[in-house]
Structure 1
Amino acid sequence: MDRAGEMAVFTKVVEEGSFSSAARALKLTPSAVSKQIGRLEDRLGVRLLNRTTRQLSATEEGDAFYQRCVRILTDMEEAEIAVSQRHSAPRGTLRVNCGVAFGKHQISPLIPEFLERFPEVNVEMTLTDALSDLVEEGQDVAIRFGKLQDSSMVARQLAVSRRAICCSPEYLQRFGEPKHPSELTAHNRLGFSTAIHLNEWIFRLPDGSEYPVKVEGNFTANNGETIHEMVLAGLGIARLAEFLVSSEVREGKLVRILKPFYRDVEVPINAVYPTRRHLSPKVRAFVDFLVEKFNPVPPWEAES
């Protein structure tokens, strides 16, 4: 028997707590299992198991060896699954979770092409700005902004997000264009009712100093999509993601203002999934598809 086989026998004995139970699970005879463990101990030069007439337990060396064996056997199994699944056709229901604005404007338009490529996959998409637990809610992939906080998750970066200070041409005609951040106090600034950390806009003056402006206006919402609609309607000025407004800026429906004073920080946009282990073909196909579509230049920058 090869070393992997020896490890499999040894781990099964430790887990079952007896030669006879391990033998039944492995479809071997108890004597064959006992001889296998004896040969393994002889080769390693240590006693791995404490044997009595009533019970069997791992020694200190045996427990350390068991932990290593479990990791090695798991890695071997995952390597085989990964190779075999690369040749399996993606199929089944793919559950995708994404924020409202990014999902509507950037992910949803790509879904028809994805489904055309992988006709055996069904997509179930949930759009919400409330963060959810992927494992508890049975989601396969989520699109998340910012650094990955949960070490049990895997993230592949798709692009980066920046924001712009925008309003409609109609708003500028009615109220004039602010030329300096200090002039924003005379304007209707639209903000978020929940993500209040987004309700302070930081500008940089020519001398390098920062100039913060707090959002104060007659309308707030819990998502960027709704604020975007109000800005298009001419209600006020807002700070919105470039992926949301780039096409309207290009078409003249929105105007970027205070550009000399504002350059937002880059926030990574990631495709997040629970673990690399047993990654299904449908998840791998979807994440690879998104990476293809957003790299090297995301759609909203390519259009600019």
Structure 2
Amino acid sequence: MDRYQAMSTLVRVVETGSFSAAARQLNVGQPAVSKTIAQLEARLQVSLLIRSTHGLTPTEAGQRFYERAKAAIQEADEAELAARGAGAGLSGCLRVSAATTFARLHIVPLLPRFLEQHPDLEIDVILDDRIIDLVAEGVDVSLRMGALPDSSAIARKLATGARSVLATPAYLARAGEPQNPAEIAEHDVVIYSQLANVWSFTRDGAEASVAVHGRVRVSAAEGLRAAVLADMGLTITSDWMFAPELASGAVRRVLTGWQLPSLDLWAVFPAGRMASAKARAFATFVENAMARDHSVTA
């Protein structure tokens, strides 16, 4: 029995809570995972997992083995990189999660450059506007925007972007341009349902809060973009979401004398484990790329 493979299998089973989920992440059949765990338990002469209708949980011995095995795997990965020397190419599969629209506009176009730097690396990009369980999904690093709901998350800030009130020139020609935050209430507004409905604007130390209402609400950024570009109204969103259109003039900022709270981009790593070298390298790559791209930080 390959001890490294057995440790890796046990770690995936504990973190996903099932043989089938671990098998999908390891790209093997479920019987192979079950066989590996059975062989490992036979070799150690101890039960590692408790099987029930609710899934799999580690026994006390299994939890101790899991913690040591996970640490050993991470140390082995770091040792390989150290042996190759500083700056050596990364290898294996890097699993990245990110919001769909942000990734389409700002991350996927960067991938060719990153892969060129690391020809032995593969990238699996999970596009989802929801916050997913990084451990259960086997994600190495997640790119998230805004406040982090989990205070225990291992996170690193990569960039800060502006928020603005945006609309197309056609909509503004038809409906006029608001001159202060209170006038937003007189306009058609496209609402992104994942954000707050009350926004606080500031100007020269003064603050103005406005409750945003609208006839159109969308749950995904792609829908927000489509509605705004169809001249359906104003929206309040990150400039990142409309970077190409802001650059081309297809949408315009209004109320530019007022400021909205900025938006932070974070690299979030799975809790309870050391961030892998490839995850850290990818986070650094994105951070540097965002710093170079003035169109997304304007």
- Common fold by TM > 0.5: yes
Q: Which runs of structure 2 are paired with 1:1-304 in the superposition (5 Å)?
A: 82-86=78-82, 87=84, 89-150=89-150, 153-193=153-193, 195-197=194-196, 199-204=197-202, 208-261=205-258, 263-274=259-270, 277=273, 279-295=275-291, 297-301=292-296
Q: 1:190·1:215 contact (CA, 8 Å) conserved in 2?
A: no
Give the Cα–Cα distance (whole angstroms) in 1 for the partners of residues 284 and 79 of structure 2: 16
Residue ranges of structure 2 left out of the alignment (5+ in a row): 1-43, 45-66
Q: Helix, strand or coil: the match of 1:228?
A: helix
Deviation (angstroms), 1:279? 4.2
Q: 2:166·2:252 contact (CA, 8 Å) conserved in 1?
A: yes
CA distance change for structure 1 residues 277 and 201 in 2, over 3 Å: closer, same or farther?
A: closer
Larger radius of gyration: 1
Deviation (angstroms), 1:96? 1.0
Counterpart position of 1:19: none
- TM-score normalised by the chain length of structure 2: 0.67
CA distance change for structure 1 residues 238 and 119 in 2, over 3 Å: closer, same or farther?
A: same
Q: Helix, strand or coil: the match of 1:289?
A: helix
CA distance change for structure 1 residues 82 and 149 in 2, over 3 Å: closer, same or farther?
A: farther
RMSD value over aligned CA atoms?
A: 3.2
CA distance change for structure 1 residues 282 and 76 in 2, over 3 Å: closer, same or farther?
A: closer
Give the Cα–Cα distance (whole angstroms) in 2 for the partners of residues 216 and 250 of structure 1: 28
Listed one character per residue, the Cα deviations across residues 238-271 of structure 1 (whole Å, up to 9, x for unaligned) are: 012111223322321111111112x122332111
Residue ranges of structure 1 left out of the alignment (5+ in a row): 1-24, 26-69
How many pairs align?
A: 231
Listed one character per residue, the Cα deviations across residues 217-237 of structure 1 (whole Å, up to 9, x for unaligned) are: 221111223212211221100
Give the Cα–Cα distance (whole angstroms) in 2 for the partners of residues 175 and 231 of structure 1: 14
Deviation (angstroms), 1:213? 2.0
CA distance change for structure 1 residues 281 and 173 in 2, over 3 Å: closer, same or farther?
A: same
Give the Cα–Cα distance (whole angstroms) in 2 for the partners of residues 222 and 253 of structure 1: 23
Deviation (angstroms), 1:212? 2.1
Q: Helix, strand or coil: the match of 1:244?
A: helix
The residue type paired with residue 288 of structure 2 is E
Give the Cα–Cα distance (whole angstroms) in 2 for the partners of residues 81 and 250 of structure 1: 42
% identical equivalent positions: 32
Q: 1:99·1:127 contact (CA, 8 Å) conserved in 2?
A: yes
Listed one character per residue, the Cα deviations across residues 167-192 of structure 1 (whole Å, up to 9, x for unaligned) are: 00000111111112222222101112
Q: 1:228·1:240 contact (CA, 8 Å) conserved in 2?
A: no
The residue type paired with residue 90 of structure 1 is L
Deviation (angstroms), 1:84? 3.8
